[in-house]
């Protein structure tokens, strides 16, 4: 995250960061998408986004709402994915 983006999150020149923060506070799902949601909805910052979340996630199939718990059996696929992060672990 860039310094201008962090300054926007903290001092914001509109209410979007605060509105989304209130939304995520009352949302059932995890707030891990907060920063991505803000950055993609501000034209000034959206052009700086790289379309790759760098996560290896093995989803349930269908409806892809819950990630499977990863184990050593998934290690090879995690390595080959070139992802810097992974989830979900026990």
pLDDT in tens, 10-33: 887 678 888 888 877 777 766 777
Same domain, 65 and 42: no
**The predicted structure's pLDDT at residue 75:** 93
- Report the Cα 5 to chain-centroid distance in Å: 16
pLDDT single digits (tens) 42-80? 899 999 888 777 889 988 877 777 888 999 999 999 999
Same domain, 38 and 21: yes
What's the domain count of the chain?
2
Range of the domain at 29: 3-46
**The predicted structure's pLDDT at residue 69:** 92
- How would you classify residue 28: left for phi > 0, otherwise alpha for psi between -120 and 50, otherwise beta? alpha
Burial of 12 (0-12, 13-18, 19+ CB in 10 A): middle
Mean pLDDT of the chain: 84
Residue 37 has pLDDT above 90, yes or no: no
CA 33 to CA 24: how far, in whole Å?
9
């Amino acid at each position: 995250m860039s310094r201008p983006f962090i300054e926007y999150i903290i001092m914001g020149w509109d209410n979007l960061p605060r509105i989304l923060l209130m939304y995520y506070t009352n949302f059932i799902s995890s707030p891990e998408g907060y920063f991505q949601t803000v950055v993609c909805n501000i034209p000034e910052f959206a052009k700086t986004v790289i379309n790759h979340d760098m996560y290896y996630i093995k989803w349930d199939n269908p409806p892809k709402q819950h990630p499977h718990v990863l184990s050593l059996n998934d290690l090879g696929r995690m390595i080959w994915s070139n992802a810097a992060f992974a989830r979900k672990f026990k």
